[in-house]
Structure 1
Amino acid sequence: MEKTVISTNKAPGAIGPYSQGWVVGDFVYTSGQIPVDPASGEVPAGIAAQAEQSCKNVAAILEAAGATLEGVVKTTCFLADMGDFAAFNEVYAKYFTSKPARSCVAVKDLPKGVLCEIEAVAVK
């Protein structure tokens, strides 16, 4: 089965020993996307703006792989505070309109002290 690494400057580069994602056959696997603006390197303030940027970063990686948010079949979402769940969902629902399967968990810490992270699996 063919495997291809995904790399785009429209999403933040990896900050560790990993890639932005992989295409394996008809599937796309993204690494977790934190809300770093790829152009400025900045993180916006607040859960709504951070959720928005994380969703945009996932979409950019999918686009680079020839996929779309509509093709997402599974996401895993990480929140620094489960108290942000409702506000996160409000933004998430605008992007993941096909309602993919999802896990959403609270974690102790996220890279760069961000409030959320999203990873996705999509079908091309």
Structure 2
Amino acid sequence: MNRKLISSGSEFESKMGYSRAVVDGDYVFVSGTTGYNYQEGRISEDVKEQADQCFKNIQAALQEAGSSIENAVRVTYIVPNRDDFEPCFPVLAKWLGEVRPAATVFEARLLDDNMKIEIQVTARLNG
């Protein structure tokens, strides 16, 4: 069985010993992903913009792995403030409205107080 590690280049990956995504068998497991914009080197203060950036980061990892968001089978949302989740619904529907993976959401503190949402995805490989 082939195993492939995908990196975003984040310093946290080497510090903490994890990968942005792991391809194992027919699946891609994408780590919890925040709304950090790597091109701009910043994170938005707006939870909806963070959610959209999370999916852009996830899509980049999935594409590198040979998959796409359309192949998502499970999604997990983590929000430090559950009141921030409902405003994200239009963003979630934009990315997953047709895909409709199994989903879970829970409230928990994130590593940085600027982070308002973290999203984890499992997807099948293309083909």
TM-score by length of 2: 0.88
Q: Residue by residue, what CA displacement relative to the aligned partner does 1:84-110 show, whole Å, maximum 9, x if unpaired?
A: 121122211101131100001111x21
Identity %: 29
Q: Letter of the 2:69 partner, please give it.
A: L
Aligned partner of 2:106 in structure 1 is 105
The 5 Å alignment of 1:51-70 reads 51-70=51-70
Q: 4+ residue runs of structure 1 moved beyond 6 angstroms?
A: none
| CA contact 1:8–1:64 (8 Å) conserved in 2 | no
Structure 2 unaligned residues grouped into runs of 5+: none
| CA contact 1:80–1:116 (8 Å) conserved in 2 | yes
The 5 Å alignment of 1:1-80 reads 1-8=1-8, 13=10, 15=12, 16-80=16-80
Q: Quick one: structure 1 residues 103 and 60, their matched pair in 2 at CA, closer, same or farther if it must change by over 3 Å?
A: same
Query: Equivalents in 2 of 1:116, 1:84: separation in Å?
Result: 8
Q: Residue by residue, what CA displacement relative to the aligned partner does 1:11-65 show, whole Å, maximum 9, x if unpaired?
A: xx25132111100111000011011001122001111111111111111110110
TM-score by length of 1: 0.90
Aligned partner of 2:96 in structure 1 is 96
Pairwise CA RMSD of aligned residues?
1.3
Query: Equivalents in 2 of 1:14, 1:91: separation in Å?
Result: 27
Please identify which structure carries the higher strand content: 2
Partner SS, residue 121 of structure 1? strand
